[in-house]
């Protein structure tokens, strides 16, 4: 079956951040002695996931004072403002994979629809659009605007529904999905998507040859 649409995950496919925010912030000001279990885990495992699906606002949550503390999260983590924190967070995680970006550009020249499919909240998406690789994609599907996260089946069903509005003749197995999480791959595969498990950057050559062999766009 040919490929008409390619869906790209963000982190681990299009972007390879050297270190995540939670790692970098603990090293930024050693004197604060930030600890994952004590200072970061609750926010990133309980609050941040709700921001990713639009149930909470990241800026609002970072301005709140956690229990048993006197300062809001951004001050506890060593920042003067939420804006300073977000700039440190988002800028430090921008590390596009050049080979993948070139492949996206090549696919678009062949009239293949290239979309981002990511578990990310609205401020990160805004930053990617303004300063990152967001402009490389025809459509950005995020957990925030879909109100659900991978690997939930509905995440992929909503994407399929939106894509079918644009191309009423699109068949589910004409969609090619790339992700670095096996659980996400399995959910998309169960719905009928063609999939590729991107273990690391070394997987790229196989991915490229497989996609280019099955294109359904114009040459």
Nearest residue to 52 (alpha-carbon basis) of 131, 196, 150? 150
Q: What is the pLDDT along the chain (219 residues), one digit of tens a residue?
A: 689 999 999 999 999 998 889 889 999 999 999 999 999 999 999 999 999 999 999 999 999 999 889 999 999 999 999 999 999 999 999 999 999 999 999 999 999 999 999 999 999 999 999 998 999 999 999 999 999 999 999 999 999 999 999 999 999 999 999 999 999 999 999 999 999 999 999 999 999 999 988 875 444
Q: For residue 193, is it left (φ>0), alpha (ψ between -120 and 50) or beta? A: beta
**Nearest CA among 201, 198, 168, 165 for reference residue 181:** 198
Q: Which segments of 36-152 does DSSP mark as H helices, in order?
A: 41-42, 48-52, 58-62, 73-76, 82-92, 98-109, 122-131, 143-146
From the list 83, 77, 84, 80, the residue with the least C-alpha distance to 24 is 77
pLDDT digit string, tens, across residues 78-129: 999 999 999 999 999 999 999 999 999 999 999 999 999 999 999 999 999 9
Taking the model in full, what pTM does it have? Answer: 0.93
């Amino acid at each position: 079956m040919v490929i008409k649409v390619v869906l790209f995950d963000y982190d681990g496919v299009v972007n390879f951040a050297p270190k995540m925010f939670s790692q970098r912030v603990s090293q930024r000001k050693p004197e604060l002695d930030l600890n994952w279990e004590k200072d970061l885990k609750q926010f990133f495992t309980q609050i941040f996931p709700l921001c990713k699906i639009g149930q909470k606002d990241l800026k609002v949550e970072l301005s709140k004072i956690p229990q048993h503390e006197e300062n809001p999260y951004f001050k506890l983590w060593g920042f003067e403002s939420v804006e300073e924190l977000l700039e440190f967070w988002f800028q430090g995680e921008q590390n596009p994979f050049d080979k993948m970006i070139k492949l996206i550009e090549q696919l678009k020249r062949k009239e293949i629809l290239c979309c981002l499919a990511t578990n990310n909240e609205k401020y990160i998406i805004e930053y990617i659009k303004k300063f990152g690789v967001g402009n490389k994609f025809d459509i950005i599907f995020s957990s925030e605007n879909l109100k659900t996260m991978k690997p939930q089946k509905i995440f992929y069903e909503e994407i399929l529904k939106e894509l079918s509005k644009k191309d009423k003749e699109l068949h589910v197995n004409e969609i090619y999905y790339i992700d670095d999480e096996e659980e996400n791959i399995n959910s998309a595969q169960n719905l009928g998507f063609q999939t590729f498990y991107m273990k690391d950057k070394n997987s790229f050559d196989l991915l490229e040859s497989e996609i280019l062999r099955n294109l359904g766009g114009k040459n």
